[in-house]
Structure 1
Amino acid sequence: MKFSENWLRELVDIPVDRDALMHRLTMAGLEVEGVEALGGTLAGVVVGEIVACTPHPNADKLRVCEVAAGGSAPLVIVCGAPNARTGLKAPLATIGTTMPNGMEIKRAALRGVESNGMLCSAKELGIDADASGLMELPAGAPVGTPLAQYLGLPDASIEIKLTPNRPDCLSVLGLARDASALFGSALHEPAGAPVAAVVDRTRAATLDAGVDCPRYCGRLIEGIDASAKTPLWMAERLRRSGVRPVSALVDVTQYVMLELGQPMHAYDDTKLDGPISVRRARAGERVKLLDGSEPALDDAFLVIADRTGLHGLAGIMGGHDSRVTDATTTVFLEAAHFAPGAIMGRARRLGLHTDASHRFERGVDPELPRRAIERATALILEIAGGRPGPVTETVIAADLPARAPVALRRTRLARLLGIDIADTEVERILRALGMQVEATAEGWRATPPSHRFDIQIEEDLIEEVVRVHGYERVPTRAPRGELLGPSLPETRLEASRLRAQLVARDYAEAICYAFVPHELLRTWQLDEGAVALANPLSADLGVMRTSLLPGLVTALAANRRRQQPRVRLFEFGRVFSGGTAADPTPVEHDRIAGVACGRAVAENWASEARAVDFFDVKGDAESLFALTNAAGAFSFTPGGPAWLHPGQAAEVRRDGAVVGWIGALHPDLLARLDLDEDVFAFEFDVAAVSQRALPRAEAVSRYPSVRRDLSFELPEAVPYAAVEAAIRDAVGETLTQVVLFDRYAGPNLGHDVKSLAIGLILQDRSRTLTDQDADRCTALAVAALESVCKAKLRG
């Protein structure tokens, strides 16, 4: 919400300067996001009038202007603005003026002609972004008057960041109400006296949407001059509130919305036929909107219609065909109350965001439409003339929001705040915020005004009291009493342990969006079962992620484009998938994932430069598994999803169940992602890698161990995990450790054959093993390898 500081000060007496005002608003929950000072350095800038304008004798794009500035004789000014012309009134910076950018105006000869000042654009004066030409002032602007005085400067454009529960402050009047309570100052309500009807013409309205639109007000005004100019004071207030003036009729509706908070619309009455109907759209209906779009609608949308068709989306945007133009002579003004639930999300579905939808989906005062109509009527008559008809109001009283009283207990207020606030101060604050207050034995009963949708429970009233009283006046005290920490089972690893382990392995934690583009998931072949959002924030955030890796690799690519040669990222997060036919509720899973590219270790003098490979990342993953005290339960099996390289990929299993994948990304995927080097990745279910086996203390065996080494040949396709599993199953508990200490593959062995050298560590806890025991265990291992793994013992 942007607004003019002077506009706010006109509605409420504020006894402090700008900085103190900004601080007080922020401390009261109305966070000030930005302040743009306007016109603070315009001393020496006056209203000038070009009385003569001729081409420059030595430059085609310059003009020599004679400018009246209130002195005895016009000043000669050389100007290059395209809109410089005789009769134009524009700001004139006189000799000695210091401009907002620090430039001092001096006499200067431009192509042989002396210039005695500078005609200015709005941007050069620091009061608008328009630099297309001279700032054109109204024909009635008094020549020689200081520009700051004429424009009501200095001023400031202030932007407030509002929370969704405070739609009442989406207007200058709403902010003034809060400022009045904060400073205990008088509130000066905008003029709102009813305007008497001059003609009898009306246009009826029917409400066919029930609770979605329980109030609709309208008024006809005949004989207006739609080409009338918006007065400067109104145009400037609109500009300083972030709204570009368009035309008198449109500007009036915008002004009333900013002033009171009630969105309005103006129709060309000659384009309407019969009574207005507020109803649900019918499937397939279309309406051409003011922005030129023509969306297809369904019954989720409210529409404004007459006998011939649709004339707008209720609470979002008016229709193109019935818009007001400079040829409009009879206008139909509309102000209605639309329930937040009927508007919420509808504009976003169409890719729109309007001032009206922003307000209606948060809540607008249901008592405001008639007042807004009266205020807009008075402004239109003042600016464009006309003959107003009576205000027609159609109401479904039973469907209007009810205001229920809320009880506030004195003891509860003191307990939550930790301080005692005087009863008189509590009552003053509640009454200053527009509430009807009744004293009770335990405290108060307050009925909120119609514009405060957010006051529903006792805690809401306590929040209002403390924010107006001042959060800074609540003392900071340490909590008393014993605080019990969360009870975590010993069999579960905390996420912080897993995070710390990956950080220790030189990974940096990333946080990616849970929403991703559907096209990105399709590129990864991960779009099956993706949950689409009904109202996405944007087209690029349309579905929930089914894996953490697309977001992580996107972050890796962004780092690579910024000249980061070595990137290692990990993320903890949730992934989402569609439910089953029996239960379509989306399913969430916690995952941990990591990606790595570039050098295996950071550049240093002690190690050779080597690119990260599969086994580096596998080692990182195994360091996580070691934290579970059950590293032996994890195994790696060749294979994996289609997005992994078929020769450098593995499924990770725990006790036989697949819990994740690890490997290099497929070259085709790398090409589609515009990555020019290998990227290695892993992703596991958090539940699998956080399940920890409890450690068990055992005495060191008194009996020595025996080692037997085996060397054998076997097919390349047989994974080492299968080899180790076969040996352990065959030998049993006597085998305490299996050590792979050599691997060889080459032309001496033949195609698709490898040689492994393995050490068997044998030990019995009750006796010393004999050579016969060791030979028997070795024979069992050899037999298992020959039968299960097709291995052949080497001599």
Structure 2
Amino acid sequence: MKFSELWLRELVPTTQTREQLEATLTAIGLEVEDSDVLGQGLGNDVVVAQIRDCARHPEADRLQVCTVDAGVHGVLQIVCGAPNARSGLKAPLALVGAKIGEITIKPAKLRGVESNGMLCSAKELGIDADASGLLELPADAPVGMAIGDYLGLPDAVIELGLTPNRADCFCLSGIARDVAAATGTALVEQKIDAVPAQSTATLPITLDAGADAPRYVGRVIEGIDAKVATPLWMAERLRRSGIRPVSFLVDVTQYVMLELGQPMHAFDRDRLQGPIGVRRARAGETLKLLDGREVAVDDGFLVITDADRAVALAGVMGGFDTRVGDGTRNVFLEAAHFAPAAIIGRSRKLGMHTDASHRFERGVDPQLPRVAIERATALILEVAGGTPGPVSEVALDAELPRPQPVSLRRARLARVLGVTIADADVERILRSLGFAVNATADGWMATAPSSRFDIAIEEDLIEEVARIHGYDAIPTTLPAGGATVRAPSETRVSDWALRRQLVARGYLEAITFAFVDARQLQAWQMTADSLELANPLSAELAVMRTSLVPGLAEALARNSARQQSRVRLFELGNVFHATNDAPLHTQRIAVIACGSAADEQWGDANGKRGVDVFDLKGDLDTLAALADATLDYRAARLPWAHPGRCANVFRGDVKLGWIAELHPALCNALDLPARTCAFEVDLAPLALRDVPKSRPLSRFPSVRRDLALVVPRNIEWEALARSVRESAGEWLRELVLFDVYTGPGVGDDEKSFAMGLILQEESRTLTDQDVNALITKVIDTAASRHGAVVRG
């Protein structure tokens, strides 16, 4: 929000210096992002002058020799190269001795012709960026008057960085109210009287959008002079607010928006048929906007209609076909209230941004439309004449937002702020901000003005009191109270323990966006149950991620493209899925790796073995070991995984996730190294562990019995191992696979698993009879489940 300092001081005549005023604005939450002083150093040597005559320079085609009337300073000869220099034009003149920026004006000869001063552009005066020609002043500008006095200089353009909740400060009246409250200065209340109707000209209004558009106000003004120039004071205030003047009728609506905060629009009445209405757009409906673009809208948009023909995009921009121009004689002014939810994201969806949508998205005072119409009417009649008709208003009272009383407890205020503020000061602060305040036994009931959409709970009122009272007036004190020390849970491995384990194994932690591009999920074939955002920051961040690995893969690709041959990344974060009820978010841990299995070192003669799925399996097993868990890996086929190098990960009967080498086609499409491996598992079931229980070490020796079983080639070790563990029971302390054999002595469609079973009992030494019976049970179970036979 940009505005003129002098305009603000008209509304709140504070005696603070510019630096103090800017500090006050920042202190009350209206952060000053920039401040640009205009017309600094323009003294009495820069005056209003009028060109009496222009003649071509005898030695230069682009220069003119001008005879200039400078009032009491006499008639001067000025050589000027501005393309708009002409007889009768009034423009700023820097006299000899004047200092413009770093230049001091001196008598000079330009191509042999004397010049005693310089006619100036707006850029040369330091009040605008326009350097295309001389700054053209109105015909009634007093010749010889100091330009600073005439233009109200020096002035400052102050730019605020407003937070979205302070929609009421997107206008001068809102900013002035806050400054008046903070400085204790009396606010100059604007008196906006109703303009009586002088004709019966009206347009009927219909509202068909319910709570999205509960109020619409309009007025017909006939017989205006649309060609009249925008008054200098209005044009300068617009220009210093970052809005370039266009034409008087357009400028009036912009001025009222900056002054009061109510966006408005002016239609050419003669291009309307009536009645005027507000409704939801229809699918496939098109509309040509003021900027000349034709846009297609859907039922998510609101449109202003003329006899059911869409003529404007409600809350965003007017239509091209009903625009005002120099030929406009009769105008229809509109001001409406649109619910923020009906406007949010609509302009962004069309790739545009307007001052109106910026305000409506955050909330505009629903009581302002009639006030804005009256203010705009008075300005139009004053400058352009005309005959006003009556104000037409249609409102759905039941749908209009109404501020609700909010309780503020005296004790709660003191507890939150850590300081006691006198009751009289609390009431003064709230009333100066426009609140209706009623005292209660334990505090106050305060009702916010209709412009304050951000006041809903007690903490909002506390914030208002604190920022106006002054954060610097609240003493710095250390917090008191006992600290509660909580022991970490023994039933869950902490996130930090998992992070430390992966870091110890050579991984670096990455943090990627939870918002992703839909095309990224499509490349991974992970779009199932994806959650699209209704109001994304951009098209590249339009969907919530359903997996951590795509983001990690993108980070790995960027590192790999920057000559990092060995990259190992992990992330612990949430993924999101759409459900029939509320969106579901799940915490997961994922890793991705490429390059050599081990970092370059002198002790490894080979040192170049590429990372594979089994390296990552070892890393994942170490995470499971922190929870005293054993994981099962069951072969699977996934769209993004290399066939035959992919498995689903289970802990008991609970599926945790997957582990795989990525598919070569996917790696090629994403510019990933040829062999890239990853896993992703749900964190909660992985980190769950039983409460540790101590038990004494057995005093009896363990027994090892080796066993080689021949099984069909399609049998996986994990399946056989589960059967062995189940049949061996509680005596089995450890199961070790030490050989997998294929070749002579084993059928072509068979393989041999050689394993060691380490057995132990806590109360006695196991006998050969015990061990033989157990091994027999293991062999029988393996034979019945997997067709296993003991290798001869």
Q: What TM-score comes out, normalization by structure 2 length? A: 0.85
Paired position in structure 2 for 1:613: 612
After superposition, give the CA deviation of every residue in 1:172-231 in whole Å (9 maximum; x if it has no partner).
110100000000112224463444544443333344555544433222222333333434
Paired position in structure 1 for 2:272: 272
Paired position in structure 2 for 1:693: 690
Contact 1:197 1:388 in 2 (8 A): yes
The one-letter amino acid paired with 2:651 is R
With 381-390 and 263-272 compared, the bigger mean Cα shift is at 381-390
Counterparts of 1:238 and 1:484 in 2: how far apart (Å)? 57
Q: Identify if the C-alpha distance between structure 1 residues 480 and 86 changes in structure 2 by more than 3 Å, giving closer, same or farther.
A: same
After superposition, give the CA deviation of every residue in 1:496-517 in whole Å (9 maximum; x if it has no partner).
3323333333434333333333
Contact 2:286 2:294 in 1 (8 A): no
Counterparts of 2:142 and 2:504 in 1: how far apart (Å)? 73
Contact 2:295 2:350 in 1 (8 A): no
Q: Counterparts of 1:362-401 in structure 2 under 5 Å?
A: 362-397=362-397, 399-401=399-401
Q: Could you tell me how far 1:137 is from its partner in structure 2?
A: 3.2
After superposition, give the CA deviation of every residue in 1:75-117 in whole Å (9 maximum; x if it has no partner).
546x6x8x565567777889999887x8999999999999999
Contact 2:78 2:114 in 1 (8 A): no
Counterparts of 1:248 and 1:95 in 2: how far apart (Å)? 36
Q: Could you tell me how far 1:656 is from its partner in structure 2?
A: 3.5
Q: Could you tell me how far 1:489 is from its partner in structure 2?
A: 4.9
- State the SS of the aligned residue for 2:482: coil
Q: Identify if the C-alpha distance between structure 1 residues 460 and 646 changes in structure 2 by more than 3 Å, giving closer, same or farther.
A: same
Paired position in structure 2 for 1:27: 27
The one-letter amino acid paired with 1:161 is G
Paired position in structure 2 for 1:762: 759
Find 1:644's aligned residue among 638, 641, 644.
641
Counterparts of 2:18 and 2:565 in 1: how far apart (Å)? 49
After superposition, give the CA deviation of every residue in 1:298-327 in whole Å (9 maximum; x if it has no partner).
3x5543223362322333332221111222
Give identity over the alignment, percent.
55
Does residue 719 (structure 1) correspond to residue 716 (structure 2)? The answer is yes
Contact 1:629 1:694 in 2 (8 A): no
Paired position in structure 2 for 1:728: 725
Paired position in structure 2 for 1:528: 528
After superposition, give the CA deviation of every residue in 1:631-650 in whole Å (9 maximum; x if it has no partner).
x2x11122242101113222
Counterparts of 2:562 and 2:105 in 1: how far apart (Å)? 44
- State the SS of the aligned residue for 1:294: strand
Task: Give unpaired runs (5+ residues) of structure 1.
Answer: none
Q: Could you tell me how far 1:726 is from its partner in structure 2?
A: 4.1
Q: Counterparts of 1:199-598 in structure 2 under 5 Å?
A: 199-209=199-209, 211-281=211-281, 285-291=285-291, 292-298=293-299, 301-307=301-307, 309-344=309-344, 346-347=346-347, 352-397=352-397, 399-484=399-484, 489-561=489-561, 564-579=564-579, 583=580, 585-598=582-595
Contact 2:404 2:447 in 1 (8 A): yes
Find 1:684's aligned residue among 681, 684, 697.
681
With 614-623 and 396-405 compared, the bigger mean Cα shift is at 396-405
Paired position in structure 1 for 2:167: 167
Counterparts of 2:115 and 2:678 in 1: how far apart (Å)? 69
Contact 1:56 1:63 in 2 (8 A): no
Contact 2:65 2:79 in 1 (8 A): yes
Q: Could you tell me how far 1:700 is from its partner in structure 2?
A: 2.1
The one-letter amino acid paired with 2:684 is A
The one-letter amino acid paired with 1:513 is F
Contact 1:219 1:333 in 2 (8 A): yes
The one-letter amino acid paired with 2:472 is E
Q: Could you tell me how far 1:73 is from its partner in structure 2?
A: 4.4
- State the SS of the aligned residue for 1:24: helix
Contact 1:90 1:134 in 2 (8 A): no
Paired position in structure 2 for 1:704: 701
Q: Could you tell me how far 1:446 is from its partner in structure 2?
A: 3.7
Q: Could you tell me how far 1:728 is from its partner in structure 2?
A: 3.0
Counterparts of 1:186 and 1:455 in 2: how far apart (Å)? 24
After superposition, give the CA deviation of every residue in 1:590-640 in whole Å (9 maximum; x if it has no partner).
22222223454556666645543323322222221111111x2x1112224
Counterparts of 2:144 and 2:676 in 1: how far apart (Å)? 71
- State the SS of the aligned residue for 1:165: coil
After superposition, give the CA deviation of every residue in 1:331-371 in whole Å (9 maximum; x if it has no partner).
11111233445444555555554322332343322322222
Q: Identify if the C-alpha distance between structure 1 residues 323 and 770 changes in structure 2 by more than 3 Å, giving closer, same or farther.
A: same
Contact 2:33 2:161 in 1 (8 A): yes
Counterparts of 1:363 and 1:182 in 2: how far apart (Å)? 23
- State the SS of the aligned residue for 1:663: strand
Contact 2:553 2:672 in 1 (8 A): no
- State the SS of the aligned residue for 1:3: strand
**Aligned pair count?**
781
Counterparts of 1:116 and 1:29 in 2: how far apart (Å)? 50
Paired position in structure 1 for 2:62: 63
Q: Could you tell me how far 1:665 is from its partner in structure 2?
A: 1.6
Counterparts of 2:502 and 2:39 in 1: how far apart (Å)? 55
Counterparts of 2:598 and 2:55 in 1: how far apart (Å)? 73
Contact 2:176 2:187 in 1 (8 A): yes
Q: Identify if the C-alpha distance between structure 1 residues 662 and 214 changes in structure 2 by more than 3 Å, giving closer, same or farther.
A: closer
- State the SS of the aligned residue for 2:519: helix
Q: Could you tell me how far 1:256 is from its partner in structure 2?
A: 0.9
Q: Identify if the C-alpha distance between structure 1 residues 384 and 781 changes in structure 2 by more than 3 Å, giving closer, same or farther.
A: same
Counterparts of 1:56 and 1:705 in 2: how far apart (Å)? 116
Q: Identify if the C-alpha distance between structure 1 residues 733 and 363 changes in structure 2 by more than 3 Å, giving closer, same or farther.
A: closer
Counterparts of 2:562 and 2:110 in 1: how far apart (Å)? 47
The one-letter amino acid paired with 1:273 is Q
Q: Identify if the C-alpha distance between structure 1 residues 317 and 764 changes in structure 2 by more than 3 Å, giving closer, same or farther.
A: same
Counterparts of 2:123 and 2:747 in 1: how far apart (Å)? 80
Q: Could you tell me how far 1:563 is from its partner in structure 2?
A: 5.2
- State the SS of the aligned residue for 2:660: strand
Contact 1:215 1:394 in 2 (8 A): yes
Counterparts of 2:375 and 2:133 in 1: how far apart (Å)? 33
After superposition, give the CA deviation of every residue in 1:413-457 in whole Å (9 maximum; x if it has no partner).
334333222232222212211233444554444443332344444
Paired position in structure 2 for 1:628: 627
Counterparts of 2:100 and 2:464 in 1: how far apart (Å)? 44
Paired position in structure 1 for 2:663: 666
Contact 2:78 2:119 in 1 (8 A): no
Counterparts of 1:114 and 1:792 in 2: how far apart (Å)? 116
Q: Identify if the C-alpha distance between structure 1 residues 76 and 271 changes in structure 2 by more than 3 Å, giving closer, same or farther.
A: closer
Q: Could you tell me how far 1:147 is from its partner in structure 2?
A: 6.1
- State the SS of the aligned residue for 2:498: helix
What's the Cα RMSD here? Answer: 4.2
Paired position in structure 1 for 2:736: 739
The one-letter amino acid paired with 2:698 is S
Contact 1:744 1:755 in 2 (8 A): yes
Counterparts of 1:117 and 1:760 in 2: how far apart (Å)? 105
Q: Could you tell me how far 1:771 is from its partner in structure 2?
A: 6.5
Contact 1:53 1:84 in 2 (8 A): no
The one-letter amino acid paired with 1:659 is L
Q: Identify if the C-alpha distance between structure 1 residues 700 and 153 changes in structure 2 by more than 3 Å, giving closer, same or farther.
A: farther
With 367-376 and 394-403 compared, the bigger mean Cα shift is at 394-403
